[in-house]
Structure 1
Amino acid sequence: MVSSPGTLHQCILGRFCLRLFEYFKSRQLILLSAPFDVRLPGKDQSTADEDVLSVVQPDICVCEESKLDERGCIGAPELVIEILLPDYSKTELHNKFDLYQESGVREYWIVQPAYQNVLLFTLSTNGKYIDSKPATEVLHSVTFPDLTIDLKEIFS
């Protein structure tokens, strides 16, 4: 049996959700948090259920309303946020990175509580992630240019 994320993880998740909800509530995008299924078809596949190759439950995702159904999100979210647990597997992290990149997730944040930083990856026009230097004080989204998050508030 896998244990639930700890208190620090849940506090960070809640702080991100609170901040992001305020930002996305006036846009045509929906903020969702785990447990919530994201069904990802293979590259260049339709978003029909028979084309789904992977199902993930990111800590936070932001999806277009048109991609939502009763079972979750089908297709790539606009933003995925994963908060690393202390005992995370580097293999799992690498696999999710590749999966999100191949599926077309526009922006992917990896939150590292142990280092109090966020790694931000943005999908380029050639379908590969471009990374930025780890954000330690203020996070500036590339996909949503007017979205900034004070990380001191997140990690306090």
Structure 2
Amino acid sequence: MHAPHLFFIILETGLPCLQRVVEKKKTLGCQAVFKYTKKKRGKEAVFMPAPEKGQPFTYAQYMMLDEDVRYEVIDGQVFNMSPAPTPKHQAVQRELLVEFAAYLRGKTCTVFGAPIDVCLADRDDPEQIREWVEPDLVVVCDKSKIREKRIVGVPDLVVEIISKSTVRKDKIVKFHRYERAGVKEYWIADPMNETIDVYVLEEGRFRHQGMYVRDDTIPVRLFPGFAIELKNVFAEEE
């Protein structure tokens, strides 16, 4: 362990957590986050409990973690954001970001790409925030929701790009959470199969508008007259 600041995430549950760790490789049967500093490395850890099942985990606690440690908390469930996205995932995100950014330039709405935290509940106090997500792409039309370090409030459009490890989260957990929150338009992009499913909020429920493939053009319902050609989004890398 050579980095000046390093966090170990131990996800097992069981015995009560020990608050002092003498040996840095000691195995603990509990949920905990241990921050090793250069001064303490190898001798003692600064202890900060990670969320046990059913216990709240606040955004204030999350902000204390190293920037390389990324979590989402949805309906009380904590999701680790690792591993890093694949090149294909990143390429799809990049192309969608380019398309939206070009269209929205000079307009009221703004597009953001991950990593960016979105706190769905309209709360400013990090101690009171117990739920946040990190979508692959969001469009926000109310600029008062854009804060210095995060988005506070419900985005107008959200895009999630699925991987093998996020299928359930993106298609079920986030689907229902975005629906309840009132996201107007939700896209689920599948880089491997080169498809995008589009859902639009109607009377409080997401309605499936269609699955679009590589040769299709997606009309963006949020912005009439704007459409994206998927042959550009799923273009082969040179």
Question: What is the TM-score normalised by the length of structure 2?
Answer: 0.59
For 2:131, what is the secondary structure of its paired residue? strand
Give the fraction of aligned pairs with identical amino acids, expressed as a percent.
Answer: 27
- Runs of 5+ in structure 2 lacking a partner? 1-8, 10-81
Where in structure 1 are there 5+ consecutive unaligned residues? 42-46
Residues 121 and 36 of structure 1: CA distance in aligned 2, closer, same or farther (over 3 Å): same
Go from structure 1 to structure 2 and tell me whether the alpha carbon gap of 1:91 and 1:85 turns closer, same or farther (over 3 Å shift). Answer: closer
**How many angstroms does 1:92 deviate by?**
4.8
Aligned pair 1:74/2:152, yes or no? yes
**For residue 118 of structure 2, what is the aligned residue in structure 1?**
38
CA contact (8 A) 1:83 1:111 kept: yes
For residue 183 of structure 2, the aligned residue among 100, 105, 108 is: 105
For the structure 1 residues 36 and 91, does the alpha-carbon distance in structure 2 shift closer, same or farther, using more than 3 Å as the test? closer
Instruction: Name the structure with the higher helix share.
Output: 1
- SS where residue 132 of structure 1 aligns? strand
The Cα shift of 1:70 comes to 1.2
The answer to whether the Cα contact below 8 Å between 1:106 and 1:123 also exists between their aligned partners in 2 is yes
Deviations along 1:58-111, whole A, 9 cap, x unmatched?
000011211111121111101100011133242453010011111111111000
How far the C-alpha of 1:145 sits from its partner, in A, is: 1.5
- 1:15-56 Cα shifts (integer Å, max 9, x gaps): 111111011112111111111000011xxxxx2235644200
Question: In structure 2, what is the Cα distance between the partners aligned to 1:22 and 1:147?
Answer: 11
Q: TM-score, normalised by structure 1?
A: 0.89
- Distance in 1 between residues matched to 2:193 and 2:167, nearest whole Å: 16
Distance 1:25 1:151 in 2: 20
In the alignment, which residue of structure 1 is the partner of 2:226? 147
Q: Please tell me whether Structure 1 or Structure 2 has the larger radius of gyration of its CA atoms.
A: 2
Q: Which residue of 2 aligns with 1:44?
A: none
Counterpart position of 2:201: 123
| Partners of 2:94 and 2:136 in 1: CA distance | 10
Structure having the larger proportion of residues in strand: 1
In structure 2, how many angstroms separate the alpha carbons of the residues matched to 1:91 and 1:18?
25
Partners of 1:102 and 1:67 in 2: how far apart? Answer: 18
Cα distance in 2 for residues equivalent to 1:91 and 1:55:
14
Residues in 2 aligned to 1:99 and 1:54: alpha-carbon distance in whole angstroms: 11
Query: Shift of the alpha carbon at 1:114?
Result: 2.0
Query: Does the 8 Å contact 2:158/2:185 carry over to 1?
Result: yes
Q: C-alpha root-mean-square deviation of aligned residues, in Å?
A: 1.6
The one-letter code sitting in structure 2 at the alignment partner of 1:79 is L
Contact 1:108–1:121 (Cα < 8 Å) also in 2: yes
Residue equivalent to 2:132:
55
Distance 1:91 1:18, change over 3 A: closer
Query: 64-73 or 85-94, which moves further after superposition?
Result: 85-94
Distance across 2 between alignment mates of 1:145 and 1:54: 32
User: In 1, are the aligned partners of 2:158 and 2:183 still within 8 Å (CA)?
Assistant: yes
Cα pair distance change 1:92/1:134, threshold 3 Å: closer
